[in-house]
Amino acid sequence: MLKIKDNVDLKELEKYGWEYERDEDEEYWCKYLNDNEHKLFLLDNREIVQGKFQLIFGFARVELDEKNIEDLKQADLVEKVKE
């Protein structure tokens, strides 16, 4: 599993196309992918997951395509942790 490092200010994600979204029930960070059907989500534990347009919490998780976060890896903002 890949996650955003604990010492990273999440506002830093805005530089890489991530958006902070809030609705009546949830607050989360996400990034829309080029296919306009999927987006990346940042969970409370800073784990990055990939899912369909509707909130990931209503779907089974989709395996993360790491090319979608290559910019975060190059900026040394993510780390691999045990699954």
- Tally of domains in the chain: 1
Digitized pLDDT (tens) for each residue of the chain, 83 residues in all: 889 999 999 999 999 999 998 878 778 888 888 877 678 888 788 888 887 655 555 555 667 778 889 999 999 999 998 76
Backbone angles phi, psi at 16, to 5 degrees: -115, 20
- Which stretches of the chain are DSSP H helices? 70-74
Q: Which domain range does residue 73 map to?
A: 2-80
Contacts 24+ apart (CB under 8 A), 47-52: 47/1, 47/2, 47/3, 48/2, 48/3, 48/4, 48/78
The residue type of 81 is: V
Instruction: List the CATH number of the domain containing 31.
Output: 3.30.310
